Amino acid sequence: MPRKGYWVALADVSDPEGYKLYVAENAKAFRKYHGRFLTRGGQSETPEGTTRSRVVVIEFPDYKAALDCYRSPEYAKAMALREGKSVMDLAIVEGYDGPQPTALSDFHAVLKEERWSPNSIQLVIGILCLAIGAAWLGGFPGFLIAVGFILIAGIALKH
């Protein structure tokens, strides 16, 4: 499945009335190439770097459609109407569909996929407690031995 394409535009508008002609004309190209506004000059903050007063993100069905829209005669006509009315920086980027950071609730699913059940984790911790406690013998190590036995006994009682 092709990845989506995006326009990320940063613009400063110097002639708002004249800019309306550009907005009306660019709609023709966006309709033809199935562009969809995700952001359109709403409230924004720039915690790093520099930007412009308007941030616009437009989503396309795929990267090729995003490029074709920019290179289309319909958008060329719109760009001509924008001249002298705004300054824009535009990046056309391909979407990303790879792995994402997981939530803590997803962690259990990963454990199950890798055959690490909560019981096997409990067993490993219990064995570590036993090993460390036995190596040190004494007050705190004795406590570790007790924790190890409790963890391992808890697994045995569950089965």
Report pTM.
Answer: 0.64
Torsion of CA 89, 86, 73, 1, to 10 degrees: 40
CB 111 within 8 A of CB 121: yes
What confidence score (pLDDT) does residue 101 get? 79
pLDDT digits (tens, 9 = 90+) for 22-60: 999 999 999 999 999 999 989 999 999 999 999 999 999
E strands of 5-74, at which residues? 5-13, 36-40, 54-60
What confidence score (pLDDT) does residue 7 get? 98
**Which pLDDT band holds residue 5 (cuts at 50, 70, 90)?**
very high
Least confident of 68-72, 79-83, 102-106: 102-106
**Which pLDDT band holds residue 98 (cuts at 50, 70, 90)?**
confident
3-class DSSP string for 110-152: HHHHCCCCHHHHHHHHHHHHHHHHHHHCCHHHHHHHHHHHHHH
pLDDT digits (tens, 9 = 90+) for 115-158: 556 666 766 676 666 666 666 666 666 666 666 666 666 655 55
What confidence score (pLDDT) does residue 115 get? 59
